[in-house]
Structure 1
Amino acid sequence: MNRNFGMPPSADEIEMLARAALERLPDDFARHIGDIVLQVDDFASDEVLADLGIEDPFELSGLYEGVALTERSIEHSGTMPDRIFLYRRALLDEWAERGDVTLEDLVTHVVVHEVGHHFGLSDDDMHALEDAVG
């Protein structure tokens, strides 16, 4: 990371951390992750924030866009691939504010949470998955 030079981590560095977290998923999940697209942007779009009722873009660090596996049917074939968005500036802000977590751990937490939405997991199941990836 560029931290030694005072530069904030780039979108590419955040993506690298996110891909590493995906690679650590237990096999039962990794086999079914499919073709999820991973995208890192500085912030969510104004449209996304409005749809979610969020006024401050720093309040959203990640988002799953797609249909959970538990809700899919034949009607969902041919749709766009599911996507996980990570919002770099929101992640960096939370990382700086917290001070008690590494950026890698924070990115892993957000990625696992969004993967949990892909699988239709409960919050408890997401925490268990995060422990397995951690």
Structure 2
Amino acid sequence: MTDWDGLTPPDAAEIEAMARSALAGLPAEFAEGAAGVAIRVAEFAPDEVLDELQIDDPFELTGLYDGVPLTEKSVSDQPGQPDIIWLYRRPILDEWAARGDVSLGDLVVHVVTHEMAHHFGWSDDDIARIDKWWE
């Protein structure tokens, strides 16, 4: 039996470091467009976000892109808040533990890549056509 004393799950800073590593690994053609996107880690999505997305179980949302996709931006837009990729630590850890077939780093990379695809203007259907992660 494994002695679990002293082992702790990754905190928000460690999840953020994994996410930043994923961004650093983006192909050059995407790096410039991704440069202005902020990464934030929270335990769970706020209730308002879950309500807006009609999600009842907060463990169902591992990440969220909050911003204006590049395909919808205009040079005449007024500067506003930065585009943000939200990572929800507890749902990510829960999914990682439940799956058991991927590393935590790979899961974080996947969530970041999925949300970054939204930043580049891809829909969930667009992403699903090329991303067979859940099969």
Q: Show the counterpart of 1:110.
A: 111
Q: Could you say which structure has the larger radius of gyration?
A: 2
Equivalent residue number for residue 120 of structure 1 = 121
Partner of residue 98, structure 2? 97
The whole-number CA distance in structure 1 between the counterparts of 2:111 and 2:54 is 19
Matched, 1:44 2:41: no
TM-score in terms of structure 1 length = 0.87
Change (3 A) 1:118 1:126: farther
Partner secondary structure for residue 5 of structure 1: coil
- Cα distance in 2 for partners of 1:126, 1:10 equals 31
The one-letter amino acid paired with 1:123 is: I
Structure 1 consecutive aligned stretches of length 4 or more whose deviation exceeds 3 Å? 124-128
CA RMSD of aligned residues (A): 2.0
CA distance in 2 between partners of 1:78 and 1:123 (Å): 28
Q: TM-score, normalised by structure 2?
A: 0.86
TM-superposed deviation, 1:124: 5.4
Name structure 1 gaps, 5 residues minimum: none
Deviations, residues 47-90 of structure 1 (Å, cap 9, x unaligned): 11111101110000000000100111234331211000000000
